[in-house]
Amino acid sequence: MHIVVVGLSHKTAPVEIREKLAIPESRMGEALTRLCSYQGVREGILLSTCNRVEVYAVVDEIESGYGRIQEFMADAHLSLSSEQLTPHLYWHQGDRAIGHLFRVAASLDSMIVGESQILGQIKEAFEVALTHKATGIILNKVVKKAISVAKRVRTETKIAEMAVSVSYAAVELAKKIFSDLSEKTVLLVGAGEMAKLAARHFIANGVRHVRVTTRSPQHALELANRFGGTAVAFEQFREDMASADIVLVSTGAAHYLVSEDDVQRSVKQRMNRPMFLIDISVPRNIDPAVRHVDNAFLFDIDDLKARVEQNRGGRLQEAEKAEQMVVDEVGIVRQWLQSLEVTPTIVALRTRVDDIKRAELDKTLGRLANLSVPERELVEAMASSIVNKLIHNTMVTLKAEVNSSEGAAFVEAARRFFSLGDPAVSNVNGNASSVSDTCHSSQEGIRDVEEVTQRTGSKMPDH
Amino acid sequence: MAAMFFVVTMVMYFAATVSFLAYLLWPSEALSKISPSMTAIGFASHTVALVARMIGTTDVSPPGFHEALSFFSWMLILVFLAVEIRHRLHVLGSFIVPLALVSLVSAAALPETAPTLTPMFRTLWLHVTLSMLGTVGFAIAFVAGVMYLIQDGLLKSKRFNVLYSKLPALDFLDHLNQQSIVTGFPLLTLGIITGALSAEFSRGSYLNWNPEQTWALVTWVFYFAVLMGRLTVGWRAKRAAYLTIIGFAGVILTLIGVVLKSHGPVS
């Protein structure tokens, strides 16, 4: 069993491709069912945001698994063939797949590093997968871990400041256009996380007039209440734009909502008073041609990021710190995954029961000092026999289920029943290779264990 | 004594100009204190020179261009120091102090007592003073306009350099532009009226359409239009910046024309 991820993100694919592959929430369940119906796909979870589409899965075999997932992705959109998709995809397996998920969750792979939205999106994706029973013991554990890693990164590093700094950059730019923000009006179009953050920043910097518009009037009203502003009908916001000095746009629309003409008209209505437009949407919602309008200043997310980059320096270290945390946490998950393998579990179980048997024998034989040698051997044989019979079924089941979809669950159960504790099994621990590498050797390992059990079994006196 | 202070003033303004330009291009704020201080010392020396000269001259000889330009420079620095004290806007000095220096150097290039244009009367003092005060207003508007266009260009092209960080907000510059013209325009109006009066005294007609009078009127009409355009149809921001730069260029050309006419080409 191998954990793999196949996906594309803002780093590898243009928005046109991402849009096509994005899976709408309403069709998520169906997609998950389809994903799990592929042969050799044991568990799966789908992450579809405006910046990335990723499929995490537990597969029997890496190569065929990659192929199936790619097929699955191409199937999501009829106009795309699997080949067209290839140049935009990345494939990771084992540690790298887990590390990738951790980095995504911790917002290290985000367009705006440190933004918090992605964590919520992962939680949602996980909920949906749980509802459709698409995940199993492995992905459940790994995704939960990813969420906790993300939280740890947020609390222990200053990475979140990066996202904050993007909205800070917006305020700083505004201050180079308007000397006094308190008399200025902010129009918030859409309810993207970044835009809300920026709006809060503007309010913290003295802006008192906030107008909000979203496609859903109800949502606009809620937001307006939260910011102490007024709601504007979405259909009318273009006409209303002239009353705003600062326009913050962040919607999920795939096309331009604000055209050059809209801005030209607004600036004219404003008698050439400058306007500051911030487009935090991806894809962009304000026509870049607005740049040519006099007295209108348009900045998109890349411009703001460029501004942040200039002020950086110390924050880079924070990202490095976060990366190190990811590496550490991947190590912990790897150990746990290794524990799910049958061989080390059987070895651990054997060792555990042998230890118990030895201890009990020593205690009992210590009190029965006047036993003859054959009598002693008889007592020892009885102890061995009880122990072996007790664990016999567990051993057989573990070996039988090694390749079934519930194999990992059986291993986990066995570890708990026999309190086998941490997977720090010496023979596997020394091997720093990824899960996939050890998966192969585990087959041979099982044979070794079988020999061991047979040998101990043969010593058993047959009553 | 006046001459000595005049030289000291020039040296200080020159040093302040260099320091202010360095301030403008260096990220460090180190020069933000020393530059205004040098300007202030120059200004004090300038004031002494002007007062000494006023006391020193017993006759009521009319002001020549030397005096006018020197006074213009003094007024510019006065306005800058006032704004500096109020708004701590060091960067304004990077633009005004060089302008004041140029004006002072031009003054030095001209003879101290200018040959009289025509027989003069006391009204001429008033005329020159008012016109120069009006011109100071337009000069500040010009500086604000230049700063506006630079900042506008930097924001549009997204070049966030040292200059960007030191220049103030666009609407502040636009406001400064507006205030300067609102102040300068009535002063120029009074200057023109007193000029016409003195012309009436000296030549018997208020207006004889000589080039400097014509240019002065053109300038007046131009700034009137700029002011009205701002108040009625929104000639603000970038357009106002362009217009005030063009207007000030007109003022400078008028001055040069007048100087050349009365002195002949400066060799």
A380-433 confidence digits (pLDDT tens):
999 999 999 988 888 888 887 776 667 778 888 888 888 886 544 333 333 333
Q: Are B51 and B156 part of one and the same domain?
A: no
If you count residue pairs, one on A and one on B, with CB atoms under 8 Å apart, how many are there?
A: 53
Domains of chain A, by residue range, sit at 2-157, 161-306, 340-459
Together in a domain, B125 and B91: no
A38/B227 Cα distance (integer angstroms)? 75
Give tens-digit pLDDT for A276-292.
Answer: 999 887 778 889 899 88
| Residue B29 structural domain | 1-114
Same domain as B130, residue B98: no
Q: Using CA atoms, how far apart are residues A370 and A351, in angstroms rounded to an integer?
A: 29
* Phi-psi label, residue A313: left if phi above 0, alpha if psi -120 to 50, beta otherwise: left
Domain boundary pick from B52, B87, B114: B114
B96 shares a domain with B168: no
SS3 label, residue B60? coil
**Rounded mean pLDDT of chain A?**
81
How many domains is chain B built from? 2
pLDDT for position A58: 92
Please provide residue B63's backbone torsions phi and psi, each rounded to the nearest 5 degrees.
-70, 140
- A41-48 vs A275-279, strand pairing mode: unpaired
Residue of A1, A7, A2 lying closest to A101 (CA atoms): A7
Which residue do the tokens 């880079």 mark?
A316
CA distance B248 to B72: 14
Contacts B233 to A, Cβ<8 Å: 271
Contact yes or no for A284/A300 (Cβ under 8 A) = yes
Looking up residue B1, the CATH number of its domain turns out to be: 1.20.120
Q: Of these residues, A32, A45, A50, A118, which one is catalytic?
A: A50
Nearest to A294 among B168, B233, B238 (CB): B238
Q: Which chain B residue shows the shortest CA-CA distance from A294?
A: B238
Question: Which of chain B's residues have a Cβ under 8 Å away from the Cβ of A307?
Answer: 160
Does the CB of A269 have a partner CB in chain B at under 8 Å? Answer: no
Position A306 scores a pLDDT of 76
The residue behind tokens 């192969």 is A440
Q: What ipTM does this complex have? A: 0.83
A439 is catalytic: no
The predicted model gives A153-180 an average pLDDT of 82
Are A113 and A163 in contact by the 8 Å Cβ rule? The answer is yes
Percent of chain A with pLDDT over 90: 23
A348-384 pLDDT per residue, tens = 888 889 999 999 999 888 888 888 889 888 999 999 9
Instruction: Judge if B109 and B173 occupy the same domain.
Output: no
Chain A interface, best mutation among B89, B148, B157, B158, by max A CB count within 10 A: B158
Angle in degrees, CA A257, A261, A263, rounded to 5: 75
Q: Are strands A41-48 and A52-59 parallel, antiparallel or unpaired?
A: antiparallel
pLDDT on residue A311: 64
Give the distance from residue A306's alpha carbon to the nearest chain B alpha carbon, in angstroms: 9
End-of-domain residue from the set B88, B114, B140: B114
State the pLDDT at residue B122. Answer: 57
Domain shared by B92 and B147, yes or no: no
Nearest-angstrom CA–CA distance, B18 and B21: 5
Predicted confidence (pLDDT) at residue A94 exceeds the cutoff of 60: yes
Question: What secondary structure does DSSP assign to B121-184, as a single string?
Answer: -THHHHHHHHHHHHHHHHHHHHHHHHHHHHHHHHHHHT---HHHHHS--HHHHHHHHHHHHHHH
Interface touch B160/A310, C-beta < 8 Å: yes
CB-nearest to A178 from B171, B234, B237 is B171
Indicate the pTM of the whole model.
0.65
- Band (pLDDT 50/70/90 cuts) for residue A456 is very low
Confidence tier at A102 by pLDDT (50, 70, 90)? very high
Cβ–Cβ of B171/A274 closer than 8 Å?
yes
**A185 part of contact set with chain B, CB < 8 Å:** no
Side-chain-facing half-sphere of B141: CA atoms under 13 Å: 33
* CA atoms of B7 and B14, how far apart (whole Å): 11
What is the full DSSP assignment across A140-197?
A: HHHHHHHHHHHHHHHHHSSTHHHHHHHHHHHHHHHHTT-S-GGG-EEEEES--HHHHH
- Which residues from A are below 8 Å from B237, CB to CB? 272-274, 294-295
CATH 3.30.460.30 fits A2-157, yes or no: yes
| B153 C-beta neighbours (distance < 10 Å), count | 13
Say if domain A161-306 classifies as CATH 3.40.50.261. Answer: no
Taking 50 as the pLDDT cut, the residues of chain B under it are 114-119, 121, 264-267
Residue A177 is nearest to which of B155, B175, B238, comparing CB atoms?
B155
- Of the candidates A177, A291, A299, which has its C-beta nearest B170's C-beta? A177
Domain boundary at B97, B114, B131, which? B114
Q: What integer is the mean pLDDT of A115-137?
A: 90
Same domain (yes/no): B107, B139: no
Residue B196 and residue B72 share a domain: no
